[in-house]
A and B are shown apart, each in its own frame.
Chain A
Amino acid sequence: MLDFITPFLVNSAVQAITPILLAALAGTLCGRVGVFNMALEGQMLVGAFAAVVGSYATGSALGGIAAATLATVAFSLILAYGVTVFRGDAVVICVGMNLLASGLTAYLLRQMFGVSGTFSDPAIVGLEKIRIAAINGWPVIGWIFSRQTALTWVAWILVAVVTVVMFRTPLGLRLRGVGEDAEAAETMGVDVTRYRIVTVLVAGAIVGLAGAQLSLGTVSIFSEDMSAGRGWIAVVAVMLGRNHPLYAALACVLFGFADAFSVRLQGQGLPNQVTDVVPYVVTLVALVLTHTKRRRRQDPTITASP
């Protein structure tokens, strides 16, 4: 089984994880301030689309990243203001946002570029892969980090940054408080609405990066609904990680490697309909394992009745 793990595979798994990881990070940020973000799928799609548009228009990948960030932040305004100032239900808003993202990107794709489905053009500049000769030869580290885009590096650095900010800084303490009990935070003079709005928007910028990685990092192409469920996996990772950036990252890694493993299984002749299910089953198992211990801690009214 270990011979499945080849440098290429690890490398490509890390690459495939990046958008999910970025989105999951954004999800934990939102979760920490008490906004359950189920719109990651749609935000990622908007980011992917804007990244391609930006890269195409400016002729630089950086332009693409900037466009992705801006567009996703703008898109996230709906969630940020929707759940705070307008006091809407997060689930409803997120479901609406996902649909809007899917419809709007498809619509704009047709109207802006006259194509439907897939948009690829040599003018779309993808992200460079960073090759560091020094680490290329090292086992494991080299496999993981050589030939990755800057966004993959950013993603893992952000995991560390978010963790430190969340648990070691005044800002993080406030965010955690806002998420745990908004009313209590309010009485301590913390402007809950503002913290939530800013956090959701910052998270939006991070999902924008996820979208840029998806469309510019791996392929330099936009295709309709190309987020293809990755945002949902990120939502699952957030819940599995209980809004903790490190655990959420761990969940992403678990899913990513289960996914890479499933492709390998396909190579062994198993039908893809069956192997496709592997990462989801692995995630479900992880979900069960992480929950069996906490079984009795839940609300007594739930476990009542024989």
Chain B
Amino acid sequence: MSDVARPMRRLLRIPPVPLAILVGVVLGGLLVLVSGGNPVEAYAAIVTGSLAWDSLPNTLNWAVPLVGMTLVAAIPLRGGMINLGGDGQMVIGGLVAALVPLYLPGPGPLLIVVAILAAMVASGLYATIAAWGETRHGIPMLISSLLLSYPAIGICSYVVGFPLRDTTTGLAQTPMIPEAARLPVLSGPLNAGLLVMLVVAVLVVLYDRFTVGGYELRMRGLNARFAGYGGVPLARQMTGVMFASGAIAGLVGALIVLGSQFRFQDGALLSPGYTWSGLMAALLAGGEPLGAILAGAFFAALQTGGFAMQRETSIPRVLTMVLQSIIILFLAIRHGVGRRRETR
């Protein structure tokens, strides 16, 4: 080792995640500087725009779907599987959750529960198609889950664009759901969806840590052959995992529709790109749920801060996309994040 390398090595001893963030911040800052902006101002805007007391609710509100989609990706990833179909699954959940209170009679609270459950079941079942394709026909789930997303999005878009469109507006969207069937507001933009997602997140972490199923999923992720040899029913497990993953995607769609948009609007669930942000957060943590949740929350803060930065300074919020990608790339190559998926 040359002498020059030594301080480098000491630097690299900073724990990987903070170091990655540091690298991202420095590179992002340079980018801002080169294009004539003020990096300090930009970062200050991001931080206050996401973590200051009155912007925190916005961050949390953004974190609910993002963390949800992080779990969607993390659960299969824990077992060495990848679900790229989050978009389609979320949209199905959103549409179902909007249709239940619109077309079913019943008291509001009951409608909420039914809508959420129906959304989860519908999305979960749709997600299992990809698992079925792999277990039955050997079609790689990676690509079938991605491809299955398009028909789901297309059909939902058609449904709200034509037969079930709210004809009083010029957009492809369902009518507003009745007030009674909306999620109760906690304060400001925050609604009960936050609590629901919190419970789900805790359940996922506990399942991963303390149950037989969690152990089996982890072992599958480390060596699928080994898990199969040990008696883990791989096909059934894959189906179950995809159902859970899809159901959470459906839940995310349902919470957005019932909690903040109050109707299903074509494209509105997809344009924030929760699915890909969630996938990145999950990859960042190698599928480990708690780490993934933290990464998801971090991305939520970054993105919310990005919007604030764009409002405050004229620096475009795509900067936060660049930041996120630098962080994940750095972690991937510097510490081989995600390399633990041993077999296939």
- Interface set of A (CB-CB < 8 Å, partner B): 78, 81-82, 86-89, 91-93, 95-100, 102-104, 106-107, 110-111, 116, 232, 235-236, 239, 271, 273-274, 276-277, 280-281, 283-284, 287-288, 291-292, 294-295, 297-299, 301-305
Contacts of A284 in B (CB 8 A): 144, 147-148, 151
Say yes or no: A271 contacts B161, CB within 8 Å.
yes
Among B146, B224, B322, B332, residue most surrounded by chain A Cβ atoms (within 10 Å): B332
Is B311 among interface residues, defined by CB-CB distance under 8 A? no
Given contacts A280-B151, A284-B147, A295-B138, contact A92 B316 (CB under 8 A): no
Most central of A107, A239, A274, A297 by chain B CB within 10 Å? A107
B316–A287 touching, CB < 8 Å: no
Alpha-carbon separation in the docked complex, A97 to B321 (Å) = 11
With both beta carbons as reference points, the residue of chain A lying nearest to B319 in the complex is identified as A107
Chain A residues contacting B147 (CB-CB under 8 Å) are: 236, 280, 283-284, 287
Taking a contact as CB atoms closer than 8 A, the residue among A92, A110, A303 that contacts B283 in the complex is: A92
Q: Are B236 and A280 in contact (CB under 8 A)?
A: no
Q: Are A301 and B338 in contact (CB under 8 A)?
A: no
Can you name the residue of chain A whose Cβ is closest to the Cβ of B233?
A305
Flag whether B210 is at the interface (Cβ < 8 A): no
Assuming the contacts A88-B337, A100-B326, A116-B316, asked whether A95 and B161 have C-beta atoms less than 8 A apart, the reply is no
* Top 9 closest pairs, chain A to chain B, by CB: A301-B228, A103-B321, A100-B325, A89-B338, A86-B333, A277-B154, A111-B35, A273-B158, A305-B233
Residues of chain B within 8 A (CB-CB) of A97 are 325, 329
When distances are taken between beta carbons in the complex, the residues of chain A under 8 Å from B316 are 106-107, 110, 116
Do B325 and A302 have beta carbons less than 8 Å apart? no
* Given known contacts A97-B329, A103-B319, A304-B233, A292 and B137 CB-to-CB distance under 8 angstroms: yes
Interface string of B310-334 (1 = CB under 8 A from A): 0000001011111011101101111
CA distance A281 to B336 in the complex (A): 36
Q: Which residue of A lies closest to B31 (CB)?
A: A107
A111-B34, A302-B228 known, 17 other contacts, Cβ within 8 Å: A82-B332, A88-B339, A96-B326, A97-B325, A107-B319, A274-B158, A276-B150, A280-B151, A287-B144, A288-B137, A291-B138, A297-B138, A299-B224, A301-B224, A301-B228, A302-B134, A304-B233
B130 to chain A, nearest CB (A): 10
Partner of A304, one of B234, B322, B325: B234
* Smallest CB gap from B330: residue in A: A96
A-B contact pairs, 19 of them (CB 8 A): A88-B336, A89-B339, A92-B331, A98-B276, A103-B321, A104-B318, A104-B322, A106-B321, A107-B319, A116-B316, A284-B148, A288-B137, A291-B137, A294-B138, A295-B136, A298-B138, A303-B235, A304-B233, A305-B233
Q: Taking each of A92, A291, A295, which has the highest tally of chain B beta carbons within 10 Å of its own beta carbon? A: A92
Q: Is the CB of B332 within 8 A of A277?
A: no
Q: Which residues of chain B have a CB within 8 Å of any CB of chain A? A: 31, 34-36, 82, 133-140, 142-144, 146-148, 150-151, 154-155, 157-158, 161-162, 224-225, 227-229, 233-236, 276, 279-280, 283-284, 316, 318-322, 324-326, 328-329, 331-334, 336-339, 341
Give B280's nearest chain A residue, CB to CB.
A95
Question: A270 to nearest B CB, angstroms?
Answer: 10
Please tell me if the beta carbons of A299 and B225 are within 8 angstroms of each other in the complex: yes
Q: Within the complex, what minimum Cβ distance (angstroms) separates A30 from chain B? A: 15
Q: Which residues of A contact B227 (CB under 8 A)?
A: 301
Inside 8 A of A110's CB, which chain B residues have their CB?
316, 318
Chain A, Cβ-Cβ closest to B344: A299
> Which B residues are in CB contact (< 8 Å) with A299?
224-225
* Interfacial chain A residues near B143, Cβ < 8 Å: 235-236, 239, 287
Evaluate contact between A273 and B157: CB separation under 8 angstroms: yes
Partner of B332, one of A88, A274, A292, A298: A88
Closest CB-CB distance, A70 to chain B, in whole Å? 19
